[in-house]
Amino acid sequence: LRDGDVLVVVEVKTRRGGNFGLPAEAVGRAKVARLRRLAAQWLAEHPGGEGRDVRFDVVSVWPQDRGAARVEHLRGAF
């Protein structure tokens, strides 16, 4: 995903309840490291990728019993 000239890597997490914490809290050190490695690999493999700014966002989704899901977009999460 791009936001102007910035490559945006987005991790989407869903929780049906609060028993296991907030969705964004599920993005731990190992997931952050993996996403950074994948972004670096993508940039290296695509023309013009080197030197491009990268932003990592987390989108939290809470499905509701009725109506639309509640969605929270955390820009620049890590």
Name the nearest CA neighbour of 39 among 25, 56, 57, 24.
56
pLDDT confidence of residue 24: 85
Q: List all residues 6 or more positions away from 34 whose beta carbon is below 8 Å from its beta carbon.
A: none
Number of Cβ atoms within 10 Å of the Cβ of 56: 19
Q: What is the pLDDT of residue 63?
A: 92
Per-residue confidence (pLDDT) for residue 51, from 0 to 100: 74
pLDDT of 48 reads 78
CA distance 75 to 54: 11
Grouped pLDDT means (10 residues each) for the chain, 78 residues? 90 84 88 95 84 92 93 95
Q: What is the DSSP letter of 20?
A: T
Contact yes or no for 37/44 (Cβ under 8 A):
no
Supply the pTM of this predicted model: 0.84
